[in-house]
């Protein structure tokens, strides 16, 4: 290459670099300024084809917005796309005066918001549902510090409750034949007992004494919504190490009599507040009963991640003494006192609604389980010692009493426990 050609090439490269960044910045500026125009077009279009075009453009623009711009958009949706209060008042008065069918329909229309209409219209192409789930995820991440977006978040949540009801969910086993892209997400989303390697994952899903099941949605076919990991044993476990031991002598299905639900992980932050777990556990119990009839006991081994936070408020002296050292030997000294306080925590509600203090307990008792056993030094990992003082709880799902327990809990907040717990 000649000297002239070299200089020419360098100048061309410099010219290209000089225009790339400004062009990107201009595109972003144009996009963020145009998000409201796209929103308006999307709300007003009658064409399905055009709706898809605008919906894709809307999500592409939102992905470019920084936090301040995103907040501005949410404030716009909250304030400018809200219920028409005057119309609602008129429709309410008309319905009170005459509860006719037409007045009822008009009242329902007045109760809806342009926000909700926008979200419905955005859900019009293959990837749109996951985009909306991620949109709520981003809203929730802002709402922790700023509650201004509750109306927007609530509208999305009510739509998700309908879109993700049990009739649309698909129960699938997770095993070594599951696509790698989904297995990667199982590793990523595991929130109770971290999976560090593919070898550890295989031990949990590709052994005859282990099972894993997940719920999927047709609109998010490659995204698990929630999954449960199960171990088959011949006893009720008191320590998590028994289950996580990769060098264990695995039982055959014929030797096992107990199914242990040892990890339940919700996968989608944008679907917080949408109930999947109760359906998942009941369906997995039904499946195992049918496929492996010698399994008679259905038990969990569950953490108590909020116990130490509760203890700090209700027995700060004991909390302070325990926290002087994170060592197992030190915490062991307080076994008697901790066993008293964990029972107070689990069995006596300090909440206004009189439901159990512990969120994991609320989940399982709400599903019809009972508290079977409290285990000290059940999980000696650093996280468990800091959050739960090493305690883990066995909740029992007795198929004969699930519905009765559920009814007693929901109607009377009754905590069902095994005698002499």
Residues 202 and 122 reside in one and the same domain: no
Q: Is 42 exposed, middle or buried (0-12, 13-18, 19+ CB in 10 A)?
A: buried
Residues 152 and 180 reside in one and the same domain: no
Q: Which of 137-151, 285-299, 405-419 has the lowest mean pLDDT?
A: 137-151
Q: Which of 4-8, 47-51, 189-193, 276-280 has the lowest mean pLDDT?
A: 4-8
Confidence band, pLDDT 50/70/90 cuts, at residue 91 = very high
Instruction: Please compute, for residue 315, the number of CA atoms within 13 A of its CA located in the half-sphere on the CB side.
Output: 16
**Collapsed DSSP state (helix, strand, coil) of residue 211:** strand
What is the structure's pLDDT at 10? 43
Residues 144 and 267 reside in one and the same domain: no
Residues 188 and 50 reside in one and the same domain: no
Q: Which domain holds residue 65?
A: 3-163
pLDDT tens-digit map of 152-164: 999 999 999 999 9
Residue 367 to residues 171, 214, 355, 394, Cα–Cα distance (Å): 18, 17, 13, 14
Residues 156 and 185 reside in one and the same domain: no
Q: 419 lies in a domain? A: no
Q: 300 lies in a domain? A: yes
Residues 122 and 221 reside in one and the same domain: no
Which domain CATH number covers 90? 1.20.140.90
Q: 418 lies in a domain? A: no
Residues 339 and 296 reside in one and the same domain: yes
Parallel, antiparallel, or unpaired for β 297-300 and 258-266?
Answer: parallel
| Phi, psi (degrees; rounded to nearest 5) at 140 | -65, -35
Q: Is 148 exposed, middle or buried (0-12, 13-18, 19+ CB in 10 A)?
A: middle
Residues 226 and 373 reside in one and the same domain: yes
Residue of 400, 403, 376, 410 lying closest to 390 (CA atoms): 376
Under 8 Å between Cβ of 225 and 183: no
Q: Which two tokens stand for residue 73?
A: 């958009």
pLDDT tens-digit map of 6-17: 444 543 454 344
Residue 299 bridge partners (DSSP): 260, 396
Residues 210 and 141 reside in one and the same domain: no
What is the structure's pLDDT at 31? 57
Q: 387 lies in a domain? A: yes
Q: 421 lies in a domain? A: no
Residue 226 bridge partners (DSSP): 215, 266
Q: 417 lies in a domain? A: no
Q: 223 lies in a domain? A: yes
Whether 238 shows a pLDDT value over 80: the answer reads: yes
Cα angle: 63, vertex 65, 66; to 5 degrees: 120
Report percent pLDDT > 70 for the chain: 91
Choose one of 108, 142, 163: the last residue of a domain: 163
Confidence band, pLDDT 50/70/90 cuts, at residue 146 = low
Q: CA-CA distance, 166 to 182, in Å (whole number)?
A: 21
* H or E stretch at 143: helix 128-143
Treating both helix axes as pointing N-terminal to C-terminal, what angle do 335-347 and 307-314 enclose, rounded to 10 degrees? Answer: 100
Q: Which two tokens stand for residue 205?
A: 């899903």
Residues 278 and 226 reside in one and the same domain: yes
Choose one of 94, 129, 163: the last residue of a domain: 163
Which domain CATH number covers 270? 3.40.630.150
CA 180 and chain centroid, separation: 22
Whether 38 shows a pLDDT value over 60: the answer reads: yes
Q: 319 lies in a domain? A: yes
Confidence band, pLDDT 50/70/90 cuts, at residue 47 = very high
Q: Which two tokens stand for residue 38?
A: 């796209």
Choose one of 117, 141, 163: the last residue of a domain: 163
Report percent pLDDT > 90 for the chain: 86
DSSP of 236-274: --S-THHHH-TTS-PPPTTT--EEEEEEEEE--GGGTT-
Residue 173 to residues 154, 170, 179, 211, 215, Cα–Cα distance (Å): 32, 10, 12, 8, 9
Residues 105 and 194 reside in one and the same domain: no
Number of domains in the chain: 2
Residues 264 and 394 reside in one and the same domain: yes
Q: CA-CA distance, 102 to 290, in Å (whole number)?
A: 50
């Amino acid at each position: 290459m000649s000297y002239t050609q070299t200089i020419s090439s360098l100048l061309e490269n410099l010219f290209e670099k000089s225009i790339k960044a400004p062009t990107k910045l201009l595109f972003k500026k144009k996009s963020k300024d145009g998000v409201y125009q796209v929103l308006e077009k999307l709300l007003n279009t009658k064409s399905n084809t055009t709706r898809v075009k605008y919906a894709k453009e809307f999500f592409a623009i939102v992905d470019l917005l920084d936090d301040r711009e995103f907040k501005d958009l949410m404030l716009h949706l909250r304030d400018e796309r809200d219920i028409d209060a005057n119309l609602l008042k008129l429709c309410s008065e008309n319905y009170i005066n005459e509860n006719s069918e037409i007045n009822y329909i008009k009242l329902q229309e007045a109760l809806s918001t342009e926000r909700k209409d926008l979200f419905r219209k955005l859900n019009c192409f293959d990837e749109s549902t996951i985009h909306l789930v991620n949109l709520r995820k981003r809203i929730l991440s802002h709402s922790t510090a700023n509650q201004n977006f509750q109306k927007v978040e609530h509208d999305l949540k009510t739509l998700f409750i309908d879109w993700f009801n049990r009739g649309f969910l698909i129960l699938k086993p997770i095993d070594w034949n599951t696509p790698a892209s989904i297995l990667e997400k199982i590793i990523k989303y595991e929130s109770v007992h971290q999976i560090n390697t593919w070898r550890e994952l295989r031990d949990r899903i590709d052994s005859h004494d282990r099972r894993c099941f997940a719920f999927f949605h047709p609109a998010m076919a490659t995204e698990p919504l929630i999954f449960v990991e199960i171990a088959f044993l011949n006893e009720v476990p008191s320590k998590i190490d028994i289950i996580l031991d990769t060098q264990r002598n695995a039982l055959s299905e014929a030797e096992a009599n107990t199914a242990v639900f040892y990890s339940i992980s919700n996968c989608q932050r944008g679907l917080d507040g949408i109930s999947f777990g109760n359906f998942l556990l009941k369906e997995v119990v039904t499946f195992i009963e049918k496929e492996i009839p010698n399994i008679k006991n259905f038990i969990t081994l569950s953490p108590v991640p909020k116990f130490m936070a509760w203890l700090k408020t209700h027995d700060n002296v004991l909390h302070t003494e325990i926290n002087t050292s994170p060592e197992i030997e030190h915490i062991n000294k307080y076994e008697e006192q901790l066993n008293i306080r964990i029972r107070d925590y689990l069995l006596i509600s300090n909440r206004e609604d009189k439901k159990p203090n512990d969120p994991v307990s609320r989940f399982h008792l709400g599903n019809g389980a009972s508290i079977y056993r409290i285990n000290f030094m059940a999980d000696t990992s650093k996280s468990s010692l800091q959050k739960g003082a090493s305690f883990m709880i066995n909740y029992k799902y007795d198929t004969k009493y699930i519905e009765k327990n559920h009814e007693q809990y929901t109607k009377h907040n009754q905590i069902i426990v095994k005698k002499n717990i």
